Chain A
Amino acid sequence: MTGERTVGERTIGEQVVGEQVAGGGSGTDDFYGRLRAYEGRAAVAGGEGRDAVNEPMIRHWCEAMGDTNPAYPASAPPTMLQVWTMGGLSGHTGGSIRSEAYDELLALLDGAGCTSVVATDCEQEYLRPLRPGDRVTFDAVIESVSPRKTTKLGSGHFVTTRMDIRAGGELVGKHRFRILKYAPARRSSAAKERTTEVKEARRPRPVINRDNAGFWAGVAEHRLLIQRCTDCGTLRFPWLPGCGACGCLEWETVEASGAGTVFSYVVMHHPPFPAFDPPYAVGLIELAEGVRMISNITGVPYDKVRIGMPVELEFLRVDADLELPVFRGAVA
């Protein structure tokens, strides 16, 4: 199929607003060199179809496509070729069928910020129809990795793989597939939506289970409860089913006095999470009782938080359904 690219550059071409062979610094060229080194290496070796070609899957596919061709399901629609190679919801038996090389290439691109993926091209050749009962096997090779391209979606690299599909050892189809691995472009409208989301987004809900329900029951009563092993007396936090010191499963609770100090802290600048407004300080608070907990520090600007700063427990209502124990600091 090489040399028959009459599809033209138009569709994605419309999206490719500028093209740059990532240059300017030898560092970026080196990066493309590392990507290109994967060309010709296996992407999939010894793949096996999850299911034999079968009438129910053909029928479901025809129903979805609205395809009433009477040739189906006695034979499979040729354009189902890729379907027989798909891992489905639970993936291929025995885990991913991607080669180590292909995983490495995708990881390199992820590492360069090209974390999003979109399929752009599919070129298939059908050598003989597949019929119910056929079992497919397949192998694929990394055919090419493009230089960095800037598209409407964002900038990234096109990765093309070429797959041979066999049934009973006989080549039945060829499948060339191209994806764009890209770093999403920041769009002003999207950015605006994100800002709105931050305003409307709610804090993550705590996961309350049998092991920590007592803690949240305490919070509801504005009491910060610490577990204490009834056997060896060791205090523990966060809540766990057993004692880390002696393994005893019996415990009682002690109410914290509320006094503590900043044991350590970090300031979050990036990435932003919905409902949080960076920069903000995340404190590791050492309670007067000796255990430590992670919490917010209130009443002090993020850049005024210091290790050793005394703090005092308070309860912060973050929305109608959620109250959290936080610590108010006092600027010296």
Chain B
Amino acid sequence: MTVRVGDELPPLRIPITRTLIVSGAIASRDYQDVHHDAEAAKEKGSPDIFMNILTTNGLVGRYITDHFGPHVRLQKVAIRLGAPNYPGDEMVLTGQVTAVTDGTAEVSVTGRNGIGNHVMGKVTLRLSLDFPHGEADSPQRGAR
């Protein structure tokens, strides 16, 4: 697999279940009640429990390593949250390679759910040495 600027990653569809929200929050040691207690979430003005940012962060990382394989190394993950992930929704992660330089790739990631963009982010990863990439083809190379 050669990595080139403009490459699109296949979408990853993630059903937003209560189980995912609660297990993600607890596995990330985030016990804020809005991530597991629907009544408490309602009292705080939210229609239901919603996914915590640490789970979103983990899912974005997983999306990248699922696609590129276990030998790449994540260097940076920067995410910004928008529309919350509520139970019963589905988030579709999509990604596009935006830069390839010296064995490092940048991928922009968007996670869209039924009410809007849940997450927009940028991931920088180190491609492994035996990972061919289209650096020479990168139109952004000169610009960087």
B60 touching A79 by the CB < 8 A rule? yes
Is B27 touching A69 in the complex (CB atoms < 8 A)? Answer: no
Contacts of A77 in B (CB 8 A): 58, 61-62
Interface of A is mostly: mixed
Q: Are B65 and A69 in contact (CB under 8 A)?
A: yes
- Any chain A CB within 8 A of the CB of B74? yes
- Minimum Cβ distance to chain B for residue A13 (Å): 8
Q: A69-B65, A184-B45 are in contact. Are A124 and B57 (CB under 8 A)?
A: yes
Which A residues from 46 to 82 make CB contacts under 8 A with B? 50, 57, 60-61, 63-67, 69-71, 77-80, 82
A61 touches B75 (CB 8 A): no
Q: A169: CB under 8 A from chain B?
A: no
Contact across chains for A123 and B27 when beta carbons are under 8 A apart: no
In the bound complex, how far is the Cα of B71 from the Cα of A129, in angstroms? 13
Classify chain B's interface size.
35 or more
Q: Taking the complex as formed, is B54 at the interface, i.e. its CB lies under 8 A from any CB of chain A? A: yes
Contacts of A64 in B (CB 8 A): 20, 23-24, 26-28, 55, 58
Report the minimal beta-carbon distance from A208 to chain B, rounded to whole angstroms: 23
Residues B38-86 near A (CB distance < 8 A): 44-45, 52-55, 57-62, 65-66, 70-71, 73-83
In the bound complex, what is the Cα–Cα distance between A126 and B70 (angstroms)? 16
Tell which of A5, A14, A126 has the most Cβ of chain B within 10 Å. Answer: A126
B117 an interface residue at 8 Å Cβ cutoff?
yes
Please determine whether A63 and B29 come into contact, CB atoms closer than 8 angstroms: no
Measured CB to CB, the closest approach of chain B to A45, in angstroms, equals: 21
B108 contacts A by Cβ under 8 Å: yes
Give how many A residues have a beta carbon under 8 Å from the other chain's beta carbons. Answer: 47
By the criterion CB–CB under 8 Å, are B55 and A125 in contact?
no
Q: A10-B117, A129-B73 are in contact. Are A122 and B78 (CB under 8 A)?
A: yes
Inter-subunit contact A7/B75 (CB<8 Å): no
The stretch of A104-112, A113-121, A239-247 that contacts the partner chain: A113-121
Residues of B within 8 A of A (CB): 14, 20, 23-24, 26-31, 44-45, 52-55, 57-62, 65-66, 70-71, 73-83, 98, 108, 116-122
Residues of A participating in the B interface, judged by any CB pair closer than 8 Å? 1, 4-8, 10-12, 14-15, 50, 57, 60-61, 63-67, 69-71, 77-80, 82-83, 86-89, 116, 118-126, 129, 184, 187, 190
**A to B CB contacts below 8 Å, 23 in the list:** A7-B78, A7-B80, A10-B80, A11-B82, A12-B81, A61-B27, A64-B23, A65-B62, A66-B14, A67-B58, A67-B62, A71-B65, A80-B28, A82-B28, A82-B54, A87-B29, A116-B44, A119-B53, A122-B54, A124-B76, A124-B78, A126-B76, A129-B73
